[in-house]
A and B are shown apart, each in its own frame.
Chain A
Amino acid sequence: MSDGAFTTARLHGASGIHFRPVTMERKRVRLALILISLAFLALFLVMPVLAVFVEAFRGGWPAFAEAIFEPDAAAAIRLTLLVAAISVPCNLVFGVAASWAIAKFDFRGKALLNTLIDLPFSVSPVIAGLIYVLMFGSQSLLGPWLKSEGIQVIFAVPGIVLATIFVTFPFVARELIPLMEEQGRGDEEAALSLGASGFQVFFRVTLPNVKWALLYGVLLCNARAMGEFGAVSVVSGHIRGLTNTMPLHVEILYNEYQFAAAFAVASLLAVLALFTLVVKSVLEWRYADEIAATRRH
């Protein structure tokens, strides 16, 4: 048996036994595939991001600082932070509650709820914005009542917050549901049998078990909340200094041929994206380690 294998190997390779792992391609193929991937990455991802920073600093630091601290830009930054500060906590609470319900309980309509959570992913953001205009705009059913009460939703901050909440709705829940489903109900049942109340089970067992995934979901949610353009564009009305978020401000500057200023504000969003990516990678590294540890026997 071993003699036969040895002879075959000798026949195939002049220099004794030569073995290439079955899943490994030839050197030429490998090189070609790697080059294609790198070229693609450089062309479509790295260069555009670099371009943002290059353009942002074309006029040097003073021009950059002026573009950022100019009142309308500063107002847009403040509004973006405000919108994120409201919508992210809302979706944090909703996401945790929905995941908890879906992963740990059986009830009628569970599949429907699961599908509904994905709705914002499948609907175009422009439609999402229009939905709110149709619901709260002056032509809507609620319009006259809102007007008589002096509440302005559309072309004001409440509309922007609502649209942002809609668009960022799935991020936290989508991170948590698979993890919580995989963890099952065993830990919760153990805690209950040891006498813990429902609140104690949730805050001392369920939540700590998913804390890294939760943080990751919140980061993604935040990045999207700050970067959302389409839905916000429909409901905002683009009032400078009042209802302009950072992405809308970038567009206005760009349309006015103020390229340096547009790229300066855009570079802030790019920094936010890079920051999110770094924290995400650190978390994935950390959290993968933790998951692996719990599975080690």
Chain B
Amino acid sequence: MNAITPIEAGVSVALGAPIDVTIENVQKAFGDTPALHGVSLDVKAGELVALLGPSGSGKTTLLRILAGLDAPTAGRVLFGGDDALGLSVQQRNVGFVFQHYALFRHMTVFQNIAFGLTVRPRGERPPKAEIRKRVLHLLDLVQLTGLDKRYPSQLSGGQRQRVALARALAIEPRVLLLDEPFGALDAQVRKDLRRWLREIHDRTGHTTFFVTHDQEEALELADRVVVMSKGRIEQVGTPDEIYDAPASPFVFEFIGESSFLPVTVVDGAVQLDGQSLDLAALGSPHGEATLGFRPHDVSIVEDGGPAITGTIVTERRHGGARRLELEVGTEKHRVEIDMPVDHSRAPGGQVTFRPHRWRLFPR
């Protein structure tokens, strides 16, 4: 696949004004199996929102309910203040992009992109010349100029997904929905497309939802991230809020790498096995808690002050750092910490460290 160059100035897509989307207490059950337990979310016009969660968290179900491909068991969905659930999938006018592209294999790229326009009833269908102009314009936007006569089988995965996006944009959707759009692509192409999708969004300004299980993708691309687990929303926030102030151990663990230790809070101080760790726990309730920290947010302590001491179990190279797996405390809890690459330590040795950023979650 060709490298994706920045989008040229002058390419623009005609659009209606972007709309707000409101989701109110949406519930969904498949038979007796609940998939969504009352999800509520307000999304402002033009926002790019990531629905992030592990498989089975209900994120794709929520996206399909927004599209009209599934119906909720209860709840309301408003598009710009109007009830969307009363509209069929065709009437809802959403652009949907599938993980496996779902391009029509017997149609050329041109015919694929034009499909949404050519199926319109005679009265609403733009004239042929207009359709042609719009399709070629969209091909420019997704940087596939000149590939209009190719068939999907003659394109790479990244190119196919760009055709799928152009096809979804062709109908001038009110909302753009992307279901794991880069899930089937390899790592380098994903990164290119991610940056490129952000640019397209900034140009076209659609209210956009995209589903992903890749936290890096969600944090990099989205204005706001909705973290979901087991059919519930765990946290909604900007990438900074989600990463720096995770609301639960689940979010902490799902967003980035993490280590946890069971601790006790006594008079506003954190204790491990009865020893103070010199970590101020202001505002945390007295009693049992879980201390969470990220492997790279620790400092090695060599002055003998209060800190966590662990026995090295394994040591391996991890990107630009050296990662140690430690056994800590009398119950030998496993945690991971990062050290500079030039600090090689043999397994069996002792390391003393203190997290300089951490979160406490009462138990």
Contact = CB atoms under 8 A, between A and B. Distances in A.
B100 A186 contact: yes
A122 interface: no
Interface string A69-113: 000000000000000000000000000000000000000000000
A294 B152 CA distance: 8
Contacts of A284: none
Contacts, number: 73
A297 B120 contact: no
17 contacts: A186-B98, A189-B89, A189-B96, A190-B103, A191-B115, A193-B68, A194-B116, A194-B170, A194-B171, A197-B119, A205-B104, A208-B104, A208-B106, A209-B105, A209-B106, A290-B105, A297-B156
User: Which of B100, B115, B156 is the most central at the interface, judged by chain A CB atoms within 10 Å of its CB?
Assistant: B115
Contacts of A195: 90, 93, 116, 119-120, 171
Interface of B: 67-69, 89-90, 93-96, 98, 100, 102-106, 115-116, 119-120, 151-153, 156-157, 164, 167-168, 170-171, 184
Interface string A158-196: 000000000000000000000000000011011111111
Q: 3 tightest CB-CB pairs across the interface, nearest first?
A: A194-B116, A293-B153, A186-B102
A7 interface: no
B167 A194 contact: yes
Interface of A: 186-187, 189-197, 200, 204-205, 208-209, 211, 290, 293-294, 296-297
B105 A294 contact: yes
B35 to A, nearest CB: 16
A134 to B, nearest CB: 42
B69 A189 contact: yes
Nearest to A294: B105
Given A187-B102, A208-B106, 6 more contacts: A190-B167, A193-B90, A195-B90, A209-B106, A293-B153, A297-B157
A296 B151 CA distance: 12
A68 to B, nearest CB: 41
B88 to A, nearest CB: 8
A193 B152 contact: no
B84 to A, nearest CB: 13
Give the interface SS of chain A, mostly helix, strand, loop or mixed. Answer: helix
Contacts of B157: 297
A195 B116 CA distance: 6
A297 B68 CA distance: 30
A193 B96 contact: yes
User: Which of A190, A193, A197, A208 is the most central at the interface, judged by chain B CB atoms within 10 Å of its CB?
Assistant: A193
A204 B116 CA distance: 12
Contacts of A205: 104
Given A296-B153, A297-B157, A196 B104 contact: no
Contacts of B167: 190, 194
A275 to B, nearest CB: 26
Contacts of B170: 194
Nearest to B113: A194
Given A208-B106, A294-B153, A197 B98 contact: no
Contacts of B152: 294
B102 A190 contact: yes
A196 B89 CA distance: 9
A296 B160 CA distance: 12
Contacts of B96: 189-190, 193
A297 B161 CA distance: 12
A196 B90 contact: yes
B347 to A, nearest CB: 27
A193 B153 contact: no
A194 B167 CA distance: 8
B338 to A, nearest CB: 35
Nearest to A196: B119
A196 B104 CA distance: 13
Contact of A193 (B89, B100, B106, B151): B89
A211 B152 CA distance: 18
Contacts of A297: 156-157, 184
Contacts of A200: 119
Given A197-B90, A197-B119, A208-B106, A189 B156 contact: no
A200 B116 CA distance: 11
B116 A187 contact: no
Contacts of A191: 104, 115, 119
Given A195-B90, A196-B90, A189 B171 contact: no
Nearest to B151: A293
Nearest to A207: B106
Contacts of A290: 105
